[in-house]
Copies of this chain bind each other. A is one copy, B any other.
Amino acid sequence: MFILVNLKTYPCDPIEVAEAARDVNDETDARIAVAPQAADIARVAETGAETWAQHVDPIEYGSNTGHTLAETVADAGAVGTLINHSEHRLKLADIDGSVQAAERADLETVVCANNPAQIGAVTALGPDAVAVEPPELIGTGTPVSQADPEVVEGAVEAAENVDGDVSVLCGAGISTGEDVVAAGELGSEGVLLASGVAKADDPEAALQDLVEPL
């Protein structure tokens, strides 16, 4: 299972979470990565943790101000990027452009979407993976795998129908190892989570709990 910890703009210490991710990644079979803010990517990557961007813009080198260039976050140490997170919804043409920009910079891509129909849609754009996150469950502590298992199954089916090579992750409300196992049983190859680890008093313990049942 792939566990991608989105640090959002939380007031957490990104280095502490990154070191926890690195250590638990090394001690277990799970793959664990962290996605800090753009300005923190370089120092997070220096910890040795697998580092992702939270977003890249559909742009190339040139006259763009205040945007996130895929090449720049890759140079800073990111190896992948979220695209179209529910807190950063993009136009369809821009999701397409961002996936292409990420690929150009050799960033792995996870494109987020709200529901199975939209998962089918983003799968058609050829990312490495897609992630279904029902917006109404984000931050609730109620895991999607329990509150809405048919959303995860529907997403797996929708992606499979369009392109069997694209992995499916799920997110929203995931905070325990049981939730991760349940997500896997529904066909998910990974999970997105955020507050469960980033806001934990002890991020390393939170990650160990998450991967323990795997």
Contact = CB atoms under 8 A, between A and B. Distances in A.
A194 B122 CA distance: 29
Given A38-B38, A39-B68, A117-B126, A93 B85 contact: no
A118 B65 CA distance: 19
A125 B115 CA distance: 10
B8 A65 contact: yes
A138 interface: yes
Interface of A: 6, 8-11, 37-43, 53-55, 59-69, 72-73, 75-76, 82, 84-96, 113-115, 117-118, 120-126, 138-139, 158, 161-162, 194-195
29 contacts: A8-B65, A9-B63, A9-B67, A9-B72, A10-B61, A10-B62, A37-B38, A37-B69, A39-B73, A40-B76, A54-B66, A55-B65, A55-B66, A63-B138, A63-B139, A63-B195, A64-B87, A66-B85, A90-B91, A90-B92, A93-B113, A96-B115, A96-B118, A117-B126, A120-B162, A121-B124, A121-B125, A123-B124, A161-B162
Nearest to A66: B55
A96 B124 contact: no
Given A10-B61, A117-B125, A161-B162, A66 B88 contact: yes
- Copies held by the complex: 4
Given A9-B67, A124-B124, 10 more contacts: A6-B65, A8-B62, A8-B65, A9-B65, A37-B38, A39-B39, A66-B68, A89-B94, A121-B124, A124-B158
Contacts of A194: 63
B62 A9 contact: yes
B114 A124 contact: no
Nearest to A90: B91
A44 to B, nearest CB: 11
Contacts of A66: 53-55, 68, 82, 85, 87-88
